[in-house]
Copies of this chain bind each other. A is one copy, B any other.
Amino acid sequence: MRDVCVIGLGLIGGSLVRAASAAGRTVWGATASQATAQAARDDGFDVTGVPEALKRAAESDALVVPAVPMTALPGVLKAIVEHAPKCLVTDVTSVKGPVAAMAERAGITRFVGGHPMAGTAESGWPASDAGLFEGAAWAVCLEYDTAIDDWVAVTRLALDVGAHVVPVTSAMHDAAVARISHLPHLLAAVLAAIGADAGPLALSLAAGSFGDGIRVAGSRPELVQAMTEGNATALLPALDDALGRLGAARGALASTGGLKATIVAGHDAVLEHSRLSTSDGEEGVIDVTAPGADEALLELGENGGRIIAMDRHRATTRTP
């Protein structure tokens, strides 16, 4: 098993260090914050400064995982090129196409994008948790030029920390998260502002539907801004879709007075989501070394399937 070097010890990076260590992987971390480094060392983890951690990664051919916000990524990528240029690199940011381009511009030669779909409400090392990734989806990018061995190495790390791997291209990923993550953040922000502008009476009458609808707008604004703006290309059509559907509902209400189409479509969608997420699913196997394996993997992802285990080159899959 390849060693793991995690740069950045916030919620995701910290949880990854904890979980990889608990899974028996050799893992070390680095952070620019003295206080975080000390806290992580006090908890028994192997933490140094960034250059030192990367030099060690170069020596042992470790998998390097920058786990910093997108705005800090260029600096970390530059340090990787300087100290560990031959290492395989993956990331954990919420946008994949722009980050792959950023890695290429930085001169990273072996890059496989990743994105664990795990919590954002809390942050920092104190919030990190070895169980954070348990059962969560972890998108691992498979592009036409990805070396399958590199893809498998990143997949193994995600599986080792308890996640299920969803094989995707960057484009598939970015279009999907624009709709199920970035758009929800913007709708929550708009709803929260409308409620607050309606005044204290409105907030006093607010109950479950408002509380659920605005919850994610309580996330740290700078993180939300980075991920939504970073995915602008995929987010624009998602926003247009929302504007179109909401406008159609507005038009129907003003003309015929009817909202049935909007409400029934939403209810059907909730049932479909619930059916998929509670489905036991069908198990299968993909030999990742077989010809056409990449197409089979991407088809699995497109169908909502996940890899739940790997035994050598055989991936156990589950499709809802």
CB within 8 Å of B: which of A219-275? 219, 221, 224-225, 228-229, 232, 235-236, 238-243, 245-247, 249-250, 253-254, 257-260, 262-274
Interface assignment of A206: CB less than 8 Å from any CB of chain B:
yes
Q: How many copies, total?
A: 2
Residue A190 contacts which of B166, B236, B249 (CB distance < 8 angstroms)?
B249
* CB-contact partner of A181 in B120, B175, B207, B259, under 8 A: B207
Contacts of A239 in B (CB 8 A): 246, 249-250, 253
A172 within 8 A of B: yes
Map CB proximity to B onto A204-219 as digits: 1 under 8 Å, 0 otherwise.
1111111011111111
Known: A205-B176, A276-B203. A270 touches B168 (CB 8 A): no
A190-B262, A193-B269 known; A181-B201 Cβ under 8 A: no
Does A200 have its Cβ within 8 Å of any Cβ on chain B? yes
Closest B residue by C-beta to A301: B201
Are B166 and A180 in contact (CB-based, < 8 A)? no
Chain B residues with CB below 8 A from A126, complex form: none
| Residue pair B196, A184 in contact (C-beta under 8 Å) | no
Instruction: Find out whether the CB atom of A213 lies under 8 angstroms from the CB atom of B190.
Output: no
Quick check: A194 and B242 within 8 Å, CB to CB?
A: yes
Q: Indicate if A18 sits at the interface (CB-CB under 8 A).
A: no
Query: Closest Cβ of chain B: how far from A53's Cβ, in Å?
Result: 29
> Given the complex, which residues of B lie within 8 Å of A109, measured CB to CB?
none
A152 interface residue (CB < 8 Å to B): no
The reply to whether B242 and A189 form a contact with Cβ atoms under 8 Å apart is no
A166-202: which have CB < 8 Å to B?
A: 166, 168, 172-173, 175-177, 179-181, 183-202
Known A-B contacts: A187-B246, A188-B266, A239-B246. Give 13 more (CB < 8 A): A136-B207, A179-B202, A180-B206, A180-B209, A186-B263, A190-B242, A192-B273, A200-B304, A201-B303, A206-B273, A209-B216, A214-B266, A217-B266
Can you name 30 A-B pairs with beta carbons within 8 Å?
A120-B208, A137-B205, A179-B194, A179-B198, A179-B202, A180-B206, A180-B210, A184-B212, A187-B190, A187-B246, A188-B266, A189-B249, A189-B262, A193-B262, A194-B241, A196-B272, A196-B273, A197-B269, A200-B320, A204-B306, A212-B216, A214-B269, A214-B270, A215-B270, A218-B270, A221-B263, A228-B253, A228-B263, A242-B246, A243-B243
